[in-house]
Amino acid sequence: MSALPDLDSLKLLVDVGELGSLGQAAKRAGIAQPSASKRIALLERRLGLPLLERTPRGSRLTAEGKMVVNWAAQVLAAAEELMRAARAVRQSGAVHLKVASSMTVAEYLVPRWLGELQNREPEMQVGLDVVNSADVAYRVLAGEVELGFVEGPQVPEGLASRVVGTDRLVVVVAPGHPWARRRTVLRGPELAATPLVVREPGSGTRETLDLAFRALHRASPRLELGSNSAVKGAAQAGAAPAVLSGYAVEADVATGRLVEVPLAGLNLVRNLRAVWRRGRPLTAPAATLLSIASRP
């Protein structure tokens, strides 16, 4: 079987037919006209047909050339369809990774981790669910997501875990609150006895606070709210002191929208963890993300 004509040469011939000039076809292809002439000459030898008629006024398609242009257009259309189909298969087979994260980790840490993952694996598609820590654990155990990130002090039964960072809860108040100007360090019993603005049950922040207060007499919360932003907004409005992640309030404290109240005698440091189903090995994409998140 003789060598098949290459697609670039066929496209060049089709362009000659469309533009009426070998020079214009060469310009469209981004090559010099002598190179275009050599390609057409090679194509003529492979097909055994005269394709262009050279005249002092330029080149034009022969009768055979016009027939070959029609056939070449069909070949090029089929090649384009092949590339479209291959692209569709690549996209449908692109790696999908489903992840769930608690709100604090999702807001302040996960974007950097996913950015690095996408740099390493540009074809990877990642779906991220942002829920509280209890919901993250439920979704991982139910097989809805492969990997989760939580901020609670305890790991639910059935989950394997790895510490990926630490966080410290802090007490914050509005600038006009009396605690913003207090001269004594706040102690755990006083904080526990104060109605606070807190996150909802099931959040890692709330679970950490409840654990710290377990041996103290505790007042009922002033407000229970479902996001860090809502808790911060209520504290800024003067509703009550709030206890939130240091990540969540760092910018607000730096700009004076909130004031951090020094606290002693209460451990509000917590581990941030990745979790996955115990006994089920992670796929390569999930293992890569875990490696990125675990790096100091």
Q: Residue-wise pLDDT tens for the chain (296 aa)?
A: 467 888 999 999 999 888 888 888 889 999 998 898 899 999 999 899 999 987 777 778 899 989 999 898 899 988 888 887 776 656 555 568 999 999 999 999 999 999 999 899 887 888 999 999 999 999 999 999 999 999 988 888 999 999 999 999 999 999 999 999 999 999 999 999 999 999 999 999 999 999 999 999 999 999 999 999 999 999 999 999 999 999 999 999 999 999 999 999 999 999 999 999 999 999 999 999 999 999 87
CA distance 73 to 41: 19
| Domain formed by 7-92, architecture | Orthogonal Bundle (1.10)
What is the per-residue pLDDT for 95? 61
pLDDT of 5: 86
pLDDT of residue 84: 77
Distance of CA 169 to the CA centre of its chain: 27
pLDDT recorded at residue 91: 56
Q: What are the boundaries of each domain within the chain?
A: 7-92, 98-272
Per-residue three-class SS string for 34-79: HHHHHHHHHHHHHHCCCCEEEECCEEEECHHHHHHHHHHHHHHHHH
- Closest by CA position to 39, among listed 30, 27, 26: 26
* Pairing outcome for strands 96-101 and 197-199: unpaired
- Spatial distance between the Cα atoms of 65 and 4, rounded to a whole number of angstroms: 17
SS3 content of the chain, % helix, strand, coil (to 5): 45, 20, 30
State residue 55's pLDDT score: 75
Indicate the fold that domain 98-272 takes in CATH: D-Maltodextrin-Binding Protein; domain 2 (3.40.190)
109: which 2 tokens? 């840490």
How many helices (H) and strands (E) in the chain?
12, 13
Structure confidence at residue 92 (pLDDT): 53
